[in-house]
Structure 1
Amino acid sequence: MGCVSDEDAPRPSGLKDLFNGVGYLLRGIAWTARHPAQWLFGLIPALIVLVLYVAALTALAYNLDGLAEWATPFADGWADGARTSARVVAGLALFGTSLFLAVITFTAVTLLVGDPFYEAIAVRVEESQGGAPPEPDVPLLVQIARAVKDAVLLAVIALAFAVVFFACGFLPVVGQTVVPVVAACVSGYFLAGELTSVALERRGLRRRERFALLKRNRPLAVGFGAATFVVFLIPLGAVLAMPGAVAGGTLLARERLADGAREGTGGLVLG
């Protein structure tokens, strides 16, 4: 029998990788269920950030009527029914966009605040699978500076997408059907980048290389991240599932992305 090269070997279909990505989230949640002490440990930073985000979203909801009116000055001269409809759509789009932005940045901020917590969980996951790679020899202040820079960049990119989705939310039918699905996929891609960052940074990969790996495994990343996004939309889901999502991201990075890093990262994104 002849040897089959990597190029000749059959690769998983995009749809199969999409479901495999969902499977990594389920595996991560299952891992934390088997290690309840690690799950409780990982709840601490998520709870802190959740309180801040809930306060901000509550303030937004309280002022939503005024903000919707401010966002639709063109409707001032319309008939009552049309004006009300336009401002209801604007309010829904504004709150939905803010929720999208919150879910995207929640992970980055929580990972930033809880870096020692999630680093410890990622190491425990790797040790349970055969051993963790050694920690890179990078000064702590440099690590913090990189994490802050990455979080700010992600927030800027998320804000740009949020503006686009807010505008598209006004489109009849499409804005209430297609746009939320696209938003979930886009947010899932970036969530996958954040949740695999702990394990990939431990392997010496910076943001550019990490997102290049995700680009090469996009269906897998979107499946994992979009499933996480949906779970995070459930009340308290972002807090309760955060440790499992980190565990799932670690498994994904270890089993699927790390091999790609050794082969080369190809085209880079997110400079």
Structure 2
Amino acid sequence: MGDVIRGVRLLADGQRWVLRHRRDWRFGMVPALIALVGYVVALVVLALWAGDLVDWATPFADHWASPWPGLFRGLLTALLFGTGLLLSVISFTAVTLLVGDPFYEALSARVERGEGDCPQAPERPLWREVWTAVRDSARVLLWAAVFGVLLFAAGFVPVAGQTVVPVAGFCVSGFFLALELTTVAFERRAVDLTARTRLLRHRLPLVLGFGVPLAAAFLVPFVAVVLMPGAVAGATLLVRELLPPPPPPAQPDAPTAAASPQEPGTPGAAPS
């Protein structure tokens, strides 16, 4: 529980940081707002067509006695929309980071300089940075889609599907959110996707304490826009918690002045 509480505090510290730097906060909301508009349109389309898609995919239910076809298809429609919502929460961060990459990179660096000992980012061509970001985001979204399908299937399990599965969904969303948000700070340290996934799993309670409240907040559309800059700042602090900077080198003791030879005739001088 100590790590969980620490994760929540890191999230709150990131939000406090952007409140003290209002200009960064305002500019950081622009990429999130652009991404939000696209996701709202996509979710509206899914909500309008999910029922027709479920009807098309379940022709075998046409011959069931009433009211089972309606109940079954209604449940599938709700699960389909919930899965789309889960994937949108996870992928929203990746898309927003891609849209606002230069700004969020600068924001994260300012947080690190404020904390002291900001690591120097490796020199890489722009095309390579873009390719790495797109490739890693695609891998994360693929993993998230796999978990989404598994949770979708588990939703049919009686009792557990209505209790355990939603909690597991929030935990999965929180973990992948933290994985995406820490990308900027991890890449500054030249830590690849596999290594940072391992680091986050090693401190899972800390990561869930940071990511799960954020995943719950991101379900409210405009809240995601407002919290996004602070989430990047908090993720930078999370990386510093996982990979603390090395202690400063010990300062050498001041050299003692060499004793000068005493002049003859002074007290304690050796006889000539």
Scaled to the shorter chain, the TM-score interval is 0.7 to 0.9
**In the alignment, which residue of structure 1 is the partner of 2:254?**
none
2:224 alignment partner, one of 238, 242, 249: 238
Distance apart, 1:74 and its partner CA: 3.3
Which residue of 58, 61, 85 corresponds with 2:47? 61
Instruction: Give the match for residue 21 of structure 1.
Output: 7
Point out the more displaced range, 216-225 or 71-80: 71-80
| Shift, 1:64, TM fit | 2.0
Two-structure CA RMSD over aligned residues (Å): 1.7
Contact 2:137 2:180 in 1 (8 A): no
Report the 3-state secondary structure (helix = DSSP H, G, I; strand = E; otherwise coil) of the residue aligned with 2:106: helix
State whether structure 2 residue 236 is matched by structure 1 residue 250: yes
How far 1:161 moved relative to its partner? 1.1
- Partner amino acid, structure 1, of 2:80: L
Deviation at 1:73, TM superposition (A): 3.0
Q: Which residues of structure 1 form unaligned runs of 5+?
A: 1-14, 263-271
Which structure is larger by alpha-carbon Rg, 1 or 2?
Answer: 2
- Give the equivalent residue in structure 2 for 1:75: 61
Partner of 1:187: 173
Match of residue 155 from structure 1: 141
Aligned to 1:122: 108
> 2:200 is matched with which residue?
214
User: How many angstroms does 1:201 deviate by?
Assistant: 0.8
TM-score normalized with structure 2 length: 0.86
3-state SS in 2 of match to 1:236: helix
Of residues 133, 143, 146 in structure 1, which corresponds to 2:119? 133
Distance 2:243 2:228 in 1: 22
2:188 maps to which residue? 202
Give 5+ residue unaligned stretches, structure 2: 248-272
* Structure 2 counterpart of 1:45, one-letter code: P
Q: Does the 8 Å contact 1:93/1:170 carry over to 2? A: no
Corresponding residue to 1:98 among 70, 80, 84: 84
2:162 to 157, 161, 176: 176
Contact 2:181 2:232 in 1 (8 A): yes
> What residue in structure 1 maps to residue 244 of structure 2?
259
Asked whether the 8 Å contact 2:36–2:221 carries over to 1, the reply is no
Contact residue 72 and residue 90 of structure 1 kept, 8 A: no
Asked if the contact 2:8/2:210 (under 8 Å) is kept, the reply is yes
Partner of 1:171, secondary structure, is coil
One-letter amino acid of the counterpart of residue 72, structure 1 = T
Distance 1:28 1:74 in 2: 51
Question: Is it true that 1:33 corresponds to 2:6 in the alignment?
Answer: no
How many corresponding residue pairs? 247
Shift of 1:147: 0.3
1:45-104 deviations in whole A, cap 9, x for unaligned?
Answer: 111111111111000001122122234333221122111111111111000000001111
Amino acid at match of 1:118: Y
Change (3 A) 1:62 1:261: farther
| Partner Cα separation in structure 2 for residue 216 and residue 166 of structure 1 | 27
> Aligned partners of 2:214, 2:57: CA distance in 1, in Å?
31
- Please state whether the residue corresponding to 1:80 is helix, strand or coil: coil
TM-aligned CA deviation for residue 113 of structure 1: 1.5
* Residue aligning to 1:4: none
8 A contact 1:213–1:261 mirrored in 2: no
CA-CA distance at 1:260 after TM superposition = 9.4
